[in-house]
A and B are shown apart, each in its own frame.
Chain A
Amino acid sequence: MTSRIAALDGGTYYHHRTLYEPRYRDFFDGVIYTRELGETVLEDYDTLIVSCRTDPSVLRPHREKFRQFLESGRTLVIMGSTGPAEWISGIEWHFTPTNFWWWKEGGSLGLHVTAPDHPLFDHITLADATWHHHGHLIVPEGAVSLIDVGDLGSVLYDDTVTTPGRMIVTTLDPMYHHGSHFMPATTRFLDGFLPWLKGMTPS
């Protein structure tokens, strides 16, 4: 049995490409326009993806809806640049200046895998998660960071302890870049990340 996934559509061109074009369309059992989230029933879904760069001002009124979704044991995926601290409890996000040019300057983003046995890494490599990021997260006690940036914190963690549900939180923004036909790593990330989400056993 596979997980039934819904994803939020912020109406941008990059969400459109990611959510509606054939490459990933079949992974999504529902696509919810963010401005219609209030009237959308989430009961049919096991997993809800808050797509990267979704406007937090549209998400703020739905704090209770997200909380209940997690209380009922489901999985919430929170992608980068969505301001989650504004609409969900327990997320500690720190902004970092974006280094767009590390790959030209002979440097490194400083990302490293911290849980190599995690099943996500059966689907992606560290290189598939390496483009840039806009911040880092402090991992809640008992949650598992999958990728850290230096010794600052996490850019992707898996939290099955804070709520009865599961939160997968990242500062990465793969939909924006895939949807912009920009940065092949972001497409490879989604090529692995979405099948991993789909293959989760519903609770």
Chain B
Amino acid sequence: MIFPSPALSPGTGFYALFLQETAMGLCLFINPIKGAGDDLPDVGDHAPNIAQIDHYDLSDIDLSPYAALMLPAHLDQRFFGTLTTKIEGFLARGGTLVFNGHVAWPMLPEFETFVPLESQSLENLIIHRLADHPVFEGVDTQHLTFRRGVAGFYARGYNPPPKGAIALHGVGPDRLPCDWVYHRPEGGRILMHAGNDLWMYAGSKDSTARIVPQLCLWAGGNGDEDHEQGGAS
């Protein structure tokens, strides 16, 4: 394990000892653009084994120490699209990419433009589990559908998955694949969530609080292992 330079501003609770004991890979969180406001939780308070860098520092950073790259929904996708070669190299080495948000710009060959729901009726906003996955183990889909009794926070459409991806959650009666995981034949994994940052649920009071630690555990694991269960989409 190569540890990142302190200059990379690792998360406040970065525990080298913990990493050595568990052979966990380090998750690199990309802080959202500064204009995104001050209303986002600090993931470092809930997942100690992470590092964080500011958005535009991604172009200069060496990704080789990291097992996973965690992208915020407030991503400058035009900027990220200039890094495709770098990101594909990271994936080819077995890296994990977690994407949140709606795909608007071409960034990777596996990405297609977001498809919004035609109608945002309550029925269309209900989240259904399509396959079990370690990230969502023990997370009640009712808690994904409703936040304080209000539906629609989790997903309002989907980013179309590539052939061979495994759909994890579907939104609405047509089970549109708002979450999916894809093992690239060229190496690496992509976890796609077509909504706000999954780490929005950090420290929540219901079963969604399980997402952040489980996400970091899964994303920091060996990307060549097949942890997923369930059928293909």
Q: Mark B63-78, 1 if CB is under 8 A from A, else 0.
A: 0000000000111111
Asked if A12 and B38 make an inter-chain contact with CB atoms under 8 angstroms apart, the answer reads no
Q: How many Å from the CB of B147 to the closest CB on chain A?
A: 10
Q: In the complex, what distance in Å separates the CA atom of A134 from the CA atom of B34?
A: 13
A24 close to chain B: CB less than 8 A = no
Query: Is A145 interfacial (CB-CB < 8 Å)?
Result: no
Whether A181 touches B157, Cβ cut-off 8 Å, given contacts A11-B105, A134-B37, is yes
Question: How many B residues face the partner with a CB closer than 8 A?
Answer: 33
Using a CB-CB cutoff of 8 Å, which residues 131-183 of chain A contact chain B?
A: 134, 173, 180-182
Asked whether A17 is an interface residue with its Cβ less than 8 Å from the other chain, the reply is yes
Whether B102 pairs with A13 at a CB distance below 8 angstroms is yes
The answer to the question of B18 belonging to the interface, with a C-beta cut-off of 8 Å to chain A, is no
Contact status B38-A95, CB under 8 Å:
yes
Whether the Cβ atoms of B104 and A16 lie closer than 8 Å is yes
Near A by CB (< 8 A), chain B positions 140-181 give 148-150, 152, 156-157
B14 contacts A by Cβ under 8 Å: no
Determine whether the beta carbon of B36 is less than 8 Å from that of A53. yes
CB of B156 within 8 A of CB of A134, answer no
Q: A53-76: contact bitstring with B at CB < 8 Å (1 yes, 0 no)?
A: 111111000000000000000000
Instruction: From the candidates B38, B77, B149, name the one contacting A11 in the complex (CB within 8 A).
Output: B77
Indicate whether A2 reaches chain B with its CB closer than 8 angstroms.
no
- Check A181 against B116 for contact (C-beta < 8 Å): yes
Cβ A53 vs Cβ B37 within 8 A? yes
Chain A residue at minimum C-beta to C-beta distance from B77: A11
4 nearest CB pairs, A to B: A11-B78, A11-B76, A16-B104, A55-B33
Chain B residues in the interface with A (C-beta under 8 A): 33-39, 54-56, 73-80, 101-105, 114, 116-117, 120, 148-150, 152, 156-157
7 A–B contacts from the bound complex (CB under 8 Å): A13-B73, A35-B78, A55-B56, A58-B56, A83-B35, A180-B156, A181-B117
